[in-house]
Amino acid sequence: MIPELGQFALILALLLSLAQAFFGLAGAWRNDAGWMMVARPAVTGQFVFVVLAFAALVYAFVSNDFSVNYVATNSNSQLPLFFRVAALWGAHEGSLLLWILILSIWTLAVAALSRQLPLTFSSRVLGIMGLISTGFMLFTLWTSSPFLRLMPAARDGADLNPILQDFALAIHPPMLYTGYVGFSVAFAFACAAMLEGKLDQTWAKWTRPWTLAAWLFQTAGIALGSWWAYYELGWGGWWFWDPVENASFMPWLAGTALIHSLAVTERRGIFKSWTLLLAIFAFSLSLVGTFLVRSGVLVSVHSFATDPTRGFYILGFLLATVGGSLALYAWRAPKLYSPGGFELWSREFFLLVNNVLLAVAAALVLWGTLAPLIYEMLNIGKISVGPPVFTLMFLVPMVPLILFLAPGMHAAWKRGRLTAVAKPLWALLGLAVALGLLITLGIYGRANWLGLVGFIAGLWILFSSLLEPIQRWRAGHRITGGVAGMALAHFGIGLFAIGVSGVQNYKIEKDVALKPGSTFTINGYTFRYVDAKPVEGPNYDAIQMHVEVSRNGRVVAQLDPQKRRYRTRQMDMSESAIDVGWGRDLLVAMGDDLGQGAWSMRLQYKPLIRLIWLGALVMAVGGVVAASDRRYRRREPHRELERGAHPEPRPGESSPAQPAGAVQTVPVAENG
Amino acid sequence: MTPRRKRLLIVLGILGGVGASVALAVMASRENVMFYFDPSQIAAGQAPHDKRFRVGGMVVKGSVVKTSSQVHPDEIDVRFVLSDFQHEVPVKYSGVLPDLFREGQGVIAHGQLDANGTFLADEVLAKHDEKYMPPEVAGSLKKQHAGVMSGGAAPKSTAAESAAAGSAPMGAAQMNAVPTAPVSSNVPTT
């Protein structure tokens, strides 16, 4: 009964989202306040019914209702409660329901927080979001309902895929989806602005916190996925350039470009059409991500669903969304006028460089992901684009990007003068070079160009990101959320760059065969395989190995990796054991039984790998701080705009560089 | 020069620089864009001897031998045979096999052929879903089955479909789970 109620609730939610789309868009078009007023209650109603549908499925999972096909294929009565709930988004149908739930939460938030926006604009935003949610609900109900019954009911479930039975992976999809779906807000804002035919700095100011919020969730989601892959897949890698990883990374790159481009639009009223295009791309790439993962076109490590008919629907939906928004763009964007120019080496110049490089990076990742597909369709042969190619391609735009970051953060708006901060920047670069050489040559004993450049750029970013907050603090100015957020996010980039440089250039990975009692030494760490014994888990049996790691005769770690066999699926899983440290991780994963107690195993030394995820976390926190800047929370945006665009002059930035004329809002086309 | 013009110049400048470097980088890394060959193509001498490539097939039952090396006890010595039901290729690997590596399962190996025709693998991939079979492997197996059952007389596509329809004796369950894996002519240009 409950699953049928869930299905029914989803149908009602679909009807309400149709109402939300129709009354929002048609009401704004007819300028009919009565119609437009319908959109908000429709959002609330939709949210309620989506929550009911979601709750119905959660109930089916928690109560082990194996008469529901989706529950029977993805859960098991032996599965711990936490994972029974997480199993909901362990496969295609439930993931979609999660997508819909998150979209309705974002829509509810937009509806609640957009009351001070002009009614026609907010109605259009809600209308566009209604269209998106209609598309996804139709898809779910039509091709992938999670509520379908299984006749006769299964005695027990087929269990959740063991590699998904993990805390990080349980919270990874909701996090990532929150990011994916969050870009729909920026997309809806962009479409609404194009429909209005009006795009000014106020628009950028409304859009920016939403984009930041989506971006920070995506950042955290990707980092969680990377962390999970590192400890759970047993290979000790943190990024594989797997199609599914790329699918989540491309919208992130576009979103990162978008928040920077929005900064220029908010501040100077330029880059307007580019900002719109990025908003369209960020969301389109999110949809492409869904498409790539869910259609089975590119089968990869993480693909759990393969069904071409669903792929066709998503492809059609994608074409409608991207095609529609790009058509709207082609119609409206030429009318957008961006007043004012800027000099070489000004803030705008650096942000332009940032945007071009990020867009190039996203395009390269897209090419690498789709190349095998294109080759196969053109019948040239079956290729695979391996991680070395991706890494090399990706470094080409990334190396200049991180080298430009430190000066770019401190460049003045409009004028190409770096003089005010030139001295500390050069001093910090000198310090970074000295420290970089010290770390590479002194600690790791050898330097290659890539490692050295990475360390220097990372350290330079780390130091110089603190420059502005410190200068402000010493001058007695308030450190705004925007300034602190930017400093934090860039500090995170610095940490990330250092971590990547350390791991990629100085890691040591050995696959060895050891008998009990024998040892193997890497980088001064002696791994001694003590013994192996059987252990029993809640839903698996395992062999657990004991490995003692010592350095200079002193024991530094006791590691107990396992080789598990999950009972329901009879599936083997290596559970690696990791000794975590700021300076390095030591990882042991069990391989194969070679007979007579001997085992093959992976021994790995991973310097600075923690900084990769710490960096991503700091970036996400930077996003939180930046999004909570006071200027986004003011009640009357129109009146506040004048002041908002003229904050107290920053150090290294001459205030006359901001003529009052640059702030005026320019209506770009007649309405409707 | 108008601001718009200038912006365009900056963008074109960056794109030009980045484009050129990417082109150079990709040229340099051509080695890493690996082509796929199945055991029959290797038997027919189509696979290169001086370049790394990928080979895929079913792990032949009873062919897997896992030991440590006689000479260097630290070293892992894994040997198995890959088959596409027409031809076989012996594989030597000295690393940890993936969790889902099993006899009778489709896998892909990266590496190079040695002079004796043994494939020296530096990487072996078996994907994480037990139902999963690499699309290339599924394609090869379908093709070979088709050859066996129809004597090679029927047009390729229909024969492949009949193999996919489930009449194949072995591995059919896996093959049905494979998404669309089109059976292409499978002749790479190197």
Interchain pair B3, A392: CB under 8 A: no
Distance CA A351, CA A345 (A): 10
Structure tokens at A7: 């299905």
Going by pLDDT thresholds of 50, 70 and 90, the confidence category of residue A6 is: very high
| A299, A389, A594 ranked by CB distance to B26: nearest | A389
Instruction: For residue B97, give how far its alpha carbon lies from the nearest alpha carbon of chain A (Å).
Output: 6
Distance CA B84, CA B88 (A): 7
Q: Are A593 and A460 in contact (CB under 8 A)?
A: no
Task: With a cut of 50, say whether residue A319 has pLDDT above it.
Answer: yes
pLDDT at residue B148, as a whole number: 43
Instruction: For residue B155, give how far its alpha carbon lies from the nearest alpha carbon of chain A (Å).
Output: 18
Instruction: For residue A308, give how far its alpha carbon lies from the nearest alpha carbon of chain B (Å).
Output: 7
Q: Amino acid identity of A171?
A: I
Distance CA A636, CA A184 (A): 24
Interchain pair B25, A393: CB under 8 A: yes
pLDDT at residue A659, as a whole number: 39
pLDDT at residue A527, as a whole number: 96
pLDDT at residue B32, as a whole number: 65
Sign of the Cα torsion B135, B136, B141, B142 reads positive
- Which residues, other chains included, contact A518 with Cβ-Cβ below 8 Å and sequence gap of 6+? A528, A529, B73
Task: With a cut of 80, say whether residue A229 has pLDDT above it.
Answer: yes
**Helix/strand/coil (H, E, C) string of B94-118?**
CCCCCCCCCCCCEEEEEEEECCCCC
Distance CA B128, CA A234 (A): 12
Taking the CB of residue A84, how many other CB atoms lie within 10 A of it? 23
pLDDT in tens, A543-586: 999 999 999 999 999 999 999 998 888 888 899 999 999 899 99
- Is A672 or A12 the better-scoring residue by pLDDT? A12
Task: With a cut of 80, say whether residue A124 has pLDDT above it.
Answer: yes
pLDDT at residue A339, as a whole number: 75
Interchain pair A163, B128: CB under 8 A: yes
Spacing of C-alpha A432 from chain mean position:
29
Going by pLDDT thresholds of 50, 70 and 90, the confidence category of residue B7 is: confident
**How many residues make up chain A in this entry?**
672
Using DSSP's 3-state secondary structure scheme, residue A501 falls into: helix
- Which residues, other chains included, contact A30 with Cβ-Cβ below 8 Å and sequence gap of 6+? none
Going by pLDDT thresholds of 50, 70 and 90, the confidence category of residue A488 is: very high
Interchain pair B96, A589: CB under 8 A: yes
- Which residues, other chains included, contact A272 with Cβ-Cβ below 8 Å and sequence gap of 6+? A199, A265, A336, A337, A338, A668
pLDDT at residue A617, as a whole number: 97
Rounded to the nearest 5°, which phi and psi values hold at A319? -60, -45
Which of B11, B14, B131, B140 would you mutate first to test chain A, the one with the most A CBs within 10 A?
Answer: B14
Going by pLDDT thresholds of 50, 70 and 90, the confidence category of residue A29 is: very high
- Residue A573 with chain B: CB contacts under 8 Å: 99
Q: Could you tell me which chain A residue has the CA closest to the CA of B124?
A: A235
Q: Are A438 and A445 in contact (CB under 8 A)?
A: no
Instruction: For residue B116, give how far its alpha carbon lies from the nearest alpha carbon of chain A (Å).
Output: 25
Task: With a cut of 50, say whether residue A670 has pLDDT above it.
Answer: no
Which of A166, A389, A568, A572 would you mutate first to test chain B, the one with the most B CBs within 10 A?
Answer: A389
| A300, A379, A572 ranked by CB distance to B99: nearest | A572
Structure tokens at A513: 């065969």
Structure tokens at A400: 């200049």
pLDDT in tens, B119-160: 999 989 886 444 445 556 666 666 665 544 333 333 333 333
| B18, B67, B99 ranked by CB distance to A573: nearest | B99
Going by pLDDT thresholds of 50, 70 and 90, the confidence category of residue A448 is: confident
Which of A271, A573, A600, A601 would you mutate first to test chain B, the one with the most B CBs within 10 A?
Answer: A600
pLDDT at residue A459, as a whole number: 97
| B10, B73, B185 ranked by CB distance to A379: nearest | B185
Going by pLDDT thresholds of 50, 70 and 90, the confidence category of residue A665 is: very low
Across chain A, mean pLDDT equals 88
Q: What is the pTM of this model?
A: 0.86
pLDDT at residue A316, as a whole number: 86
pLDDT at residue A632, as a whole number: 86
| B73, B97, B179 ranked by CB distance to A591: nearest | B97
Least Cα distance to A627 among A82, A133, A187, A219 occurs for: A219
Concatenate the DSSP letters of all residues of B18-67 into one string: HHHHHHHHHHHTGGGEEEEE-HHHHHTT-S-SSS-EEEEEEEPTT--EEE
Q: What is the mean pLDDT of residues A56-69?
A: 95
pLDDT in tens, A619-628: 999 999 999 9
Which of B33, B175, B178 would you mutate first to test chain A, the one with the most A CBs within 10 A?
Answer: B33
Distance CA A290, CA A285 (A): 9
Q: Amino acid identity of A595?
A: G
**Helix/strand/coil (H, E, C) string of A107-126?**
HHHHHHHCCCCCHHHHHHHH
- Is A657 or A593 the better-scoring residue by pLDDT? A593
Distance CA A371, CA A382 (A): 10
- Which residues, other chains included, contact A558 with Cβ-Cβ below 8 Å and sequence gap of 6+? A546, A547, A548, A549
| B3, B68, B179 ranked by CB distance to A299: nearest | B179
Q: Could you tell me which chain A residue has the CA closest to the CA of B177?
A: A306
Sign of the Cα torsion A414, A253, A170, A503 reads negative
- Residue A403 with chain B: CB contacts under 8 Å: none
Paired with B88 in beta bridges are B83
Interchain pair A571, B2: CB under 8 A: no
Paired with B112 in beta bridges are B120
Interchain pair B180, A308: CB under 8 A: yes
Task: With a cut of 90, say whether residue A300 has pLDDT above it.
Answer: no
Paired with A543 in beta bridges are A534, A563
Q: Are B126 and B56 in contact (CB under 8 A)?
A: no
Which of B1, B4, B18 would you mutate first to test chain A, the one with the most A CBs within 10 A?
Answer: B18
Using DSSP's 3-state secondary structure scheme, residue A183 falls into: helix
pLDDT at residue A334, as a whole number: 84
Q: Could you tell me which chain A residue has the CA closest to the CA of B3?
A: A341
- Residue B66 with chain A: CB contacts under 8 Å: 592-595, 600
Task: With a cut of 50, say whether residue A302 has pLDDT above it.
Answer: no
Task: With a cut of 80, say whether residue A294 has pLDDT above it.
Answer: no
Q: What is the mean pLDDT of residues A358-383?
A: 83
Matching CATH number, B36-125, of 2.40.50.180, 2.40.50.140, 3.20.20.70, 3.30.379.10 = 2.40.50.140
Concatenate the DSSP letters of all residues of A358-387 into one string: HHHHHHHHHHHHHHHHHHHHTTS--EEE-H
Instruction: For residue A449, give how far its alpha carbon lies from the nearest alpha carbon of chain B (Å).
Output: 15
Give the containing element (helix H, strand E) for A421.
helix A419-437
Distance CA A164, CA A289 (A): 19
Interchain pair B127, A589: CB under 8 A: no
- Is A536 or A339 the better-scoring residue by pLDDT? A536
Using DSSP's 3-state secondary structure scheme, residue A438 falls into: helix
pLDDT at residue A635, as a whole number: 57
Instruction: For residue A433, give how far its alpha carbon lies from the nearest alpha carbon of chain B (Å).
Output: 25
Q: What is the mean pLDDT of residues B101-128?
A: 87
- Residue B138 with chain A: CB contacts under 8 Å: none
Interchain pair A393, B22: CB under 8 A: yes
Which of A273, A347, A384, A399 would you mutate first to test chain B, the one with the most B CBs within 10 A?
Answer: A384
Structure tokens at B175: 């093959």
Instruction: For residue A474, give how far its alpha carbon lies from the nearest alpha carbon of chain B (Å).
Output: 36
Concatenate the DSSP letters of all residues of A456-478 into one string: HHHHHHHHHHTHHHHHHHHTT--
pLDDT at residue A307, as a whole number: 60
Q: Could you tell me which chain A residue has the CA closest to the CA of B27?
A: A389
pLDDT at residue B144, as a whole number: 62
- Of A618-622, B25-29, B75-79, the poorest mean pLDDT is in B25-29
Least Cα distance to A495 among A626, A421, A405, A577 occurs for: A405
Interchain pair B73, A518: CB under 8 A: yes
Instruction: For residue A526, give how far its alpha carbon lies from the nearest alpha carbon of chain B (Å).
Output: 14
Ranges of CATH 2.40.50.140 domains, chain B: 36-125
Task: With a cut of 70, say whether residue A636 has pLDDT above it.
Answer: no
Q: Amino acid identity of A425?
A: L
Task: With a cut of 90, say whether residue A420 has pLDDT above it.
Answer: no
Distance CA A26, CA A29 (A): 5
- Residue A73 with chain B: CB contacts under 8 Å: none
- Is A477 or A418 the better-scoring residue by pLDDT? A477
Q: Could you tell me which chain B residue has the CA closest to the CA of A337?
A: B4
Task: With a cut of 60, say whether residue A347 has pLDDT above it.
Answer: yes
Instruction: For residue A295, give how far its alpha carbon lies from the nearest alpha carbon of chain B (Å).
Output: 9
Taking the CB of residue A120, how many other CB atoms lie within 10 A of it? 22
Task: With a cut of 90, say whether residue A336 has pLDDT above it.
Answer: no
Q: Could you tell me which chain B residue has the CA closest to the CA of A359?
A: B15
Interchain pair A380, B188: CB under 8 A: yes
CA distances for A421 relative to A417, A457, A650, angstroms: 9, 17, 11
Give the containing element (helix H, strand E) for B121.
strand B119-125
- Which residues, other chains included, contact B14 with Cβ-Cβ below 8 Å and sequence gap of 6+? A353, A356, A357, A360
